Amino acid sequence: MASLNSLEPLLSLAKRKGFVFQSSEIYGGLNGCWDFGPLGVELLRNIKDAWWKAMTYRADIVGIDASILMHPRTWEASGHVQQFSDPMIDNKTSKARHRADNLIEDFAARMRAKGKTDVAQQIDTRMAAVATNADLYDIIMDFAIPDPVSGTTDWTEVRNFNLMFSTHVGPVADDKSVVYLRPETAQGIFVNMKNVMESARLKPPFGIAQIGKSFRNEINTKNFLFRTREFEQMEMQFFIPPGTEGEWFEYWRQERWAWFTSLGINSEHLRRKPHERLAHYAAAAEDIEYLFPFGWGEVEGVHSRTDFDLMRHQEFSGKKLEYVDTATKERYVPYVIETAVGATRTFMAVLCDAYTEEEIDGGDGTTETRTVLRLKPSLAPVTAAILPLVNKDGMPEAAQQLRADLQRHFRVDYDTSGAIGRRYRRQDEVGTPFCITIDGQTTSDNTVTIRHRDSMQQERVNVADVAAVIGARLLQP
Ligand code: ATP
């Protein structure tokens, strides 16, 4: 069984089967933007539903949906206006623009691949000590890191590039009307903390969860859905009494790891990466990384953020953001544990992990390659495919009846074209966990076969039991 060692097969499958298309492809596409097709939108929804259930089907977390455009002071308070930037460097020959830290890391990776581990190690040591843009520039020049486009080292200085997209509200486009497309969903939660706490009658510890689009004008977009300019995040801020941050951080780092494995992701493809350099306000931070075909990449960050964010909003808005215990008169600004995961990055991790090519018996002494998405059944875009063996002898009628029954509960596909083996392959490729075949026996004894995607085993069940059998499988953890 082979899994992915490059993104190419996945990109091709994603387009061919309607998971993901390039945004505005007929105009040549727009860099860093992707559209989810009929199957992709279902998989993405199922991932978001799994997160929403894990977060809000419990007593201490509620959800919100804040607007994308927020008061511009929000982003001054959060530090994004001043600091949400990446170091950028331009090559004067090719005019190509790069993120300076990525340029260095990619070069170190190439050195490592060539066996020049001493060079890679020297770079790693220097990178760990970087404090300023000038340090990054010095590394690029000292190691004569060339532009991948022109091959020259004809570089500009390293400068900061703010990643927020800005636009204007109202008809007058002046400084006073500037607003930003949110670069993260978290601030919508912080500014609503008091409203939510009071209206939902909550007291710390409690959490607020949100799923929504975020926008970052990334310098380089690459690796398909990994780094895009428009993406979806699923964030939860957990508000706690000061002094309990250690235990809650530990709790959430365990919970979030367990969530990824509950999606069916192989735990050997996951790792924890504690932050080596913490932000000045942070008490602890850890990323969960997934082993993509291009290497390890962050999918989620779990951060212990003290009362930094609420204090800043208190200062900038002039409004108290405290919890007051009416009985004891105790008052405090809650501390926060944040869990921040990309829905679209998780989508990609789930697809990468599910993608498998395997050699199977072709039936006549030959072998054939079967491509199968081994998605957890509850995540699969289509739950069941109904396949009448032939288009006569009462089979289409029985199949249509079953289709009508099943699609009250699940997404169902119906396929009559081609040999049954080919129809199974088509469903395997998009990860449909159950294929239900209507055959000659169905009309005489009311039974059908359910063929299971991963084992390719078939079981015969009564038509009346199909929904229950599938429903039980979907509920399995
Ligand atoms: P990175 O270091 O990869 O830029 P980050 O540390 O800035 O990510 P956070 O601000 O912690 O990311 O955002 C939380 C999550 O949002 C990330 O773990 C990732 O899953 C997702 N995310 C962030 N930026 C992007 C992007 N440009 N494209 C897709 N997903 C993203």
Top-level class of domain 89-162: alpha beta
User: How many Cβ atoms sit within 10 Å of the Cβ of residue 377?
Assistant: 22
Ligand 1 atom closest to residue 229's alpha carbon, by position in its atom list: 27
pLDDT of residue 175: 79
Asked whether residue 2 carries a pLDDT value surpassing 70, the answer given is no
Give distance in angstroms: CA of 75 to centre of ligand 1: 17
Name the residue type at position 55.
M
Our mutation pick for probing the ligand 1 site, out of 345, 346, 347, 348, counting the most ligand atoms within 8 A of Cβ, is 345
pLDDT of residue 131 exceeding 70: yes
Distance 436 CA to ligand 1 centre (A): 40
Minimal-distance CA residue to ligand 1 atom 21: 342
Question: What is the 342 CA–ligand 1 centroid distance (Å)?
Answer: 6
* CA–CA gap between residue 152 and residue 98 (Å, rounded): 14
* pLDDT computed for residue 354 by the predictor: 97
379-412 pLDDT, tens digit each: 999 999 999 998 888 888 999 999 999 999 999 9
Q: What is the pLDDT of residues 314-371, one digit of tens each?
A: 999 999 999 999 889 999 999 999 999 999 999 999 999 999 999 988 777 888 899 9
Q: What pLDDT digit, counting tens, does each position of 441-470 carry?
A: 998 999 999 999 999 999 999 999 999 999
For range 419-448, the mean pLDDT = 95
Asked whether residue 3 carries a pLDDT value surpassing 80, the answer given is no
Q: Is the pLDDT reported for residue 130 higher than 80?
A: yes
The predicted model gives 283-296 an average pLDDT of: 96
Mean pLDDT value across the chain: 95
pLDDT band, residue 176 (cuts 50/70/90): confident
Q: Which atom of ligand 1 is nearest to the CA of 300?
A: 18
**Ligand 1 center–CA 184 separation, angstroms:** 9
**CA-closest residue to ligand 1 atom 27:** 227
Give the Cα separation of 103 and 219 in Å (integer): 11
Nearest CA to ligand 1 atom 8: 298
Q: Span 119-139, mean pLDDT?
A: 94
Q: How far is the CA of 270 from the centre of ligand 1 (A)?
A: 16
For the residues 9-16, what does the mean pLDDT come to?
96
- Distance (angstroms) between ligand 1 centre and the Cα of 454 equals 32
Atom of ligand 1 nearest to the CA of 227: 28
Q: What is the pLDDT of residue 158?
A: 95
Among protein residues, the one with the nearest Cα to ligand 1's atom 25 is 227
- 271 neighbors 349 (Cβ within 8 angstroms): no
Residue 63 has pLDDT above 90, yes or no: yes
- CATH fold for the domain made of 8-84+164-352: BirA Bifunctional Protein; domain 2 (3.30.930)
Note the pLDDT of residue 1: 58
pLDDT of residue 392: 82
In contact, 307 and 282? CB cutoff 8 Å: no
CA–centroid distance, 163 to ligand 1, in Å, is 12
What residue ranges line ligand 1, CB within 6 angstroms?
A: 184, 216, 218, 227-228, 231, 233, 298-301, 340-342, 344-345
Enumerate the domain spans of the chain.
8-84+164-352, 89-162, 382-475
Task: Give 237-248 pLDDT, tens digit per residue.
Answer: 999 999 999 999
Q: Which CATH architecture has domain 382-475?
A: 3-Layer(aba) Sandwich (3.40)
Confidence category of residue 120, pLDDT binned at 50, 70, 90: very high
CA of 231 to the centre of ligand 1 (A): 9
Give the pLDDT of residue 21: 98
CA 370 to chain centre: 27
Cα 141 to Cα 303: distance, rounded to the nearest angstrom: 34
Tokens 């288009």 map to which residue? 391
